[in-house]
Amino acid sequence: MSCEYCEEGKTPEAGDKASKTGARVVALLGQPNSGKSTLFNTLTGGRQHVGNWPGKTVEKKEGRFQHKGRPYLVADLPGSYSLSAGSEEEIVTRDYIAGGEADLVCILADASQLERSLYMLADFAPLNVPAILLLNMTDVAKGKGIDVDAKLLAERLGIPVIPFVASDRKAYGAFYDAIERAGAVIKNPPLFDPAAESDVLAAAEIKFQWIEALLDGAVQKTKGSAAVLSRFDRVATSRVRGKLLAIGIGLAGLAAAMIPFGLISTITNALSSFIGPPATAFLHSTGLGPFWTALVVSGVLNTFVFSIQMAGFVFGITFVFGLLEDVGYMARVSFVFDGVMSKLGLQGKAIMPFFVSLGCTIGGAAATRVIDTWGQRVLAMALLWAVPCAAILSIVPVLAGVFFGWGALLVMLGIFAFMILHMMVTAKVFGGGLVPEKDRTGMIMELPPYHKAKWGALFQTTVIRAKDIFLRAFRVIFVITVIFFCLTWTADGNVENSIIYKVGSFIEPVTRFFGLGWQLFIAFIAAAFAKEAVLGVLNALYLGSGGVFESSFSKSTETAANFGAVISEAISKPEALAFIFAVSFTVPCLMAMAATYTENHSLKWTLRIAGYYVGTALLLSLVIFHVSSLFF
């Protein structure tokens, strides 16, 4: 692909920042599903940083790359449908562009539906900033019988216009040529003020008229290009059948995502078991004391294993649901669930993170990336913590069966009923601060055409995401693991000599008020580290089997043969019921908290949500214990 569609021309300002920072700044601008993230990941690879804009709650993504020895800084601007609606994302984007932060703005548009996807270009045009236009997904457009005359559009706009496929590295030659030479601004922009708050309808009409004139004669549609809804799409967008289909596909996708996670977990657990004993022997031979030996082997090694497993699950989730997004199906799921999600202050895009959280809250937190605004992403994370993950769904039936027999089914139904109530209350508690009523609108999005997945680009994005999760999770989990290790470690393995035992015994008069003896309270704390630890901790505390630290981070749910008999004698039914609900609705686990922080970049909000869940779990335990004591 040559650069015959690029027009020469530079403004005096073009390239000024290159001389000051050493890198030319290129900003990526486009509507959701325009291919902006694919372009950003392809250009920058692992050389990218994600944070928040200074003083804002909007995500900021920057990365670097070089071409022909020249360095470039790429800013992935927040995705939105316009620059004039006034959301925080749109304000950040408009201020960045209008403030001259970028040497060049690269605008992406969907070539298969230009009439609608050029609305962002119409909003941008009056800002008088150097730009190029990428007509992305030209392969999809050709498949629909749509031919776009990029050269004619370039003549009318006065800027380079490049036919493009963001997921195809072979299509990047013309793009690189364009960013080297480009510096022209759009000529004859629509005459309106994009920052004006009045005459919104008039401004929109002006923009659509400008787009219509721009595309006149530049877009040709051959026969067979008419958009005919397929049988599948009729079901996928149906109010009832669409929901059932989405649930089925979501659960199937979750099962598929567990395959790489299972393989990685099996391999890492085997390696941990293989490496642990010789590592312990080696450290002992160096004269390192038992405390430091145990810390290195149990702490550092376990942290590494957990972080790898966490990244493995995120890899599976990102790949599977990224595939559904890539082929165009996820937009249909968002569409059919928009009404349900709006009752929680969210939009339809939030539904998939809830499905994913049934498997693991880590994946649910990662899946919130499909949600447009930071506030809605954090609200979704706060709500999905109430969804019972696979670990909860494996240990709760065991405990409920020990104490209630066939009544365990009623306990499980109670868990899911309270989940719905919890989410509704949590939405009220956090919704006003994260998504104010005035900012809540119906979901605005295009239903993209179905098209083939771009496996290479999808795999690259998945690897980058998993790597980022691993590095961030390792840092967070390691710090908390060391703290927990110090609290639970004893030289002789006797739990009564640990700090956590002394603390637990001291505060037991208080924990009893919530229906939790000190052993149950310690297990409640361990549940915040790993839900799978609960049975192991109870086994260690009531039967004296194994150290507390090792039990807390064991992935095995095997217990002593008389475990059920012992705890059913030591724990009353009201205590058991209170404990089951408290464990189910406290913070999900250490790794999920790390994933939440990784996604929202806000320690304040992560701790606020965690404190809320711990507090409500104890309150729930209090109520259930005292009420159920009237019946048992």
Strand order across the beta sheet in which 24-30 lies: 48-52, 59-67, 70-76, 24-30, 104-110, 131-136, 161-163
**pLDDT at 608 exceeding the cut of 80:** yes
By DSSP bridging, strand 48-52 and strand 24-30 are unpaired
Rounded Cα distance, 173 and 183, in Å: 18
Rounded Cα distance, 55 and 377, in Å: 18
By DSSP bridging, strand 146-148 and strand 219-221 are antiparallel
Per-residue pLDDT at 506: 86
Three-state SS letters, 179-198: HHHCECCCCCCCCCCCCCCC
**pLDDT at 16 exceeding the cut of 80:** no
Closest CA to 582 of 536, 521, 629, 632: 521
Better-predicted residue by pLDDT, 479 or 629: 629
CB atoms within 10 A of CB 127: 18
Per-residue pLDDT at 539: 66
**pLDDT at 89 exceeding the cut of 80:** no
How crowded is the C-beta side of 308, counted as CA atoms within 13 Å? 16
Which tens digits make up the pLDDT trace of 197-230?
Answer: 445 567 778 888 898 899 998 888 775 444 444 6
- The residues spanned by each domain of the chain are 16-221, 236-388+435-463, 472-628
CATH 3.40.640.10 fits 16-221, yes or no: no
Closest CA to 398 of 536, 273, 239: 536
Closest CA to 244 of 322, 178, 336: 336
Rounded Cα distance, 180 and 189, in Å: 24
Decide if 105 contacts 29 (C-beta within 8 A): yes
Among 23-37, 91-105, 528-542, whose mean pLDDT is lowest? Answer: 528-542
Q: What is the mean pLDDT of residues 428-449?
A: 74
DSSP E strands, 290-397: none
- Which secondary-structure segment (H or E) carries 81? none
Q: Burial level of 281, CB count in 10 A (0-12/13-18/19+)?
A: exposed
Q: Which of 96-105, 353-362, 447-456 has the highest mean pLDDT?
A: 96-105
Rounded Cα distance, 211 and 228, in Å: 24
Rounded Cα distance, 410 and 433, in Å: 35
Decide if 598 contacts 391 (C-beta within 8 A): no
Per-residue pLDDT at 560: 37
CB atoms within 10 A of CB 48: 18
Q: What is the mean pLDDT of residues 461-476?
A: 76
Rounded Cα distance, 505 and 496, in Å: 9
Per-residue pLDDT at 585: 95
Q: Would you call 161 helix, strand, or coil by DSSP?
A: strand
Closest CA to 3 of 163, 115, 224: 163
Decide if 144 contacts 137 (C-beta within 8 A): no
Per-residue pLDDT at 420: 92
Rounded Cα distance, 345 and 440, in Å: 7
Q: What is the mean pLDDT of residues 88-109?
A: 87
Q: Burial level of 329, CB count in 10 A (0-12/13-18/19+)?
A: buried
Rounded Cα distance, 146 and 351, in Å: 33
Which tens digits make up the pLDDT trace of 528-551?
Answer: 887 767 776 776 666 554 444 444
CB atoms within 10 A of CB 247: 14
**pLDDT at 557 exceeding the cut of 50:** no
**pLDDT at 250 exceeding the cut of 80:** no
Rounded Cα distance, 554 and 305, in Å: 12
Rounded Cα distance, 150 and 172, in Å: 16
Which tens digits make up the pLDDT trace of 120-154?
Answer: 888 888 888 999 999 998 888 887 788 899 999 99
Q: What is the mean pLDDT of residues 438-467?
A: 72
How crowded is the C-beta side of 136, counted as CA atoms within 13 Å? 27
Closest CA to 293 of 277, 309, 313: 277
Decide if 146 contacts 112 (C-beta within 8 A): yes
Q: How far does Cα 576 stand from its chain's mean position? A: 34
Question: Tokens for 139?
Answer: 């392969």
Q: What is the mean pLDDT of residues 328-349?
A: 82
Q: Which residue has the tokens 């003083």?
A: 55
CA distances 477 to 180, 269, 597, Å, are 44, 17, 12
Rounded Cα distance, 410 and 107, in Å: 55
Which tens digits make up the pLDDT trace of 55-82?
Answer: 665 677 888 999 888 999 999 888 776 7
Q: Would you call 629 helix, strand, or coil by DSSP?
A: coil
Which tens digits make up the pLDDT trace of 560-590?
Answer: 345 567 788 888 999 999 999 999 999 998 8
Closest CA to 400 of 568, 170, 619: 568
Q: Which residue has the tokens 């030319």?
A: 24
**pTM for this structure?**
0.62
Residues in the chain: 632
DSSP state of 387: S
Q: Which residue has the tokens 């030209």?
A: 138
Better-predicted residue by pLDDT, 345 or 497: 345
Rounded Cα distance, 622 and 512, in Å: 9
Q: What is the mean pLDDT of residues 372-389?
A: 89
Closest CA to 9 of 142, 83, 104, 91: 104
Cβ contacts of residue 524 below 8 Å, gap of 6+?
516, 579, 582, 583, 586, 617
> 36-44 and 455-488 helices cross at what angle (nearest 10)?
70
Mean pLDDT estimate for the chain: 79
Helices then strands (H, E): number in the chain? Answer: 29, 9
Rounded Cα distance, 523 and 575, in Å: 13
